[in-house]
Amino acid sequence: MQEFVITAVGRDRTGLVDALSGVVARHGANWERSSMAELAGTFAGVVLVRVPTASVDALLADLDRIEADGILRLEVERAGPEPASAPGGSRFRVEVTGQDHPGIVHDITHALAQRSIGIETFTSEVVPAPLGGQMFTAVLTVRSEPEIDDDELQEHIEDVASDLIVDVDEAED
């Protein structure tokens, strides 16, 4: 078996995931993990598939046809080995809410990078604030090596801006 990460982007319309999942299924591949969304009329997704070695060439050829037919733009990368986890460390689910402003994502991610805290997942959106303006919300799963506690992580992120509300909980593996 071989693993591939497929990145798919295209103008959003019905049937995009069906087209991609049909190719994956047709070649006996397993759809392991994915994250997909419609953003401003554009579909974007990332999929990890596991395919029998004997089916790799046929799968890749069919993925090329999806792209040639203009259904989706695809990038296909052979998955590397899972990074070895160092002993210890901490994994957290972090929720961040604050007044939206340009650079807020960089501010948060830079604060994490400074402390060698890796981001496993990151989802965010901007929503109307109850009293006007825009609120930024994000949910992250992060991993810290070496180990830190949730209070320390919360304080570190809150130091980015005084108007950020940060909730940190230990994440389940």
- The residue among 28, 44, 32 whose CA lies nearest residue 79 is 32
Is residue 59 within 8 Å of residue 27, measured between CB atoms? Answer: yes
Is residue 167 within 8 Å of residue 94, measured between CB atoms? Answer: yes
CATH of the domain at 34: 3.30.70.260
How many structural domains is the chain composed of? 2
Locus of tokens 């919300």: 137
**94/166 same-domain check:** yes
Q: What is the pLDDT along the chain (173 residues), one digit of tens a residue?
A: 999 999 999 999 999 999 999 999 999 999 999 999 999 999 999 999 999 999 999 999 999 999 999 999 999 999 987 655 555 678 889 898 988 888 889 988 988 898 888 999 999 999 998 888 899 999 999 988 777 877 887 887 777 766 677 777 777 65
User: What is the strand order of the sheet 73-78 is part of?
Assistant: 30-39, 42-51, 2-11, 73-78
Output the six-digit token pair for 66.
């999806």
**133/61 same-domain check:** no
Domain extent, residue 120, equals 90-170
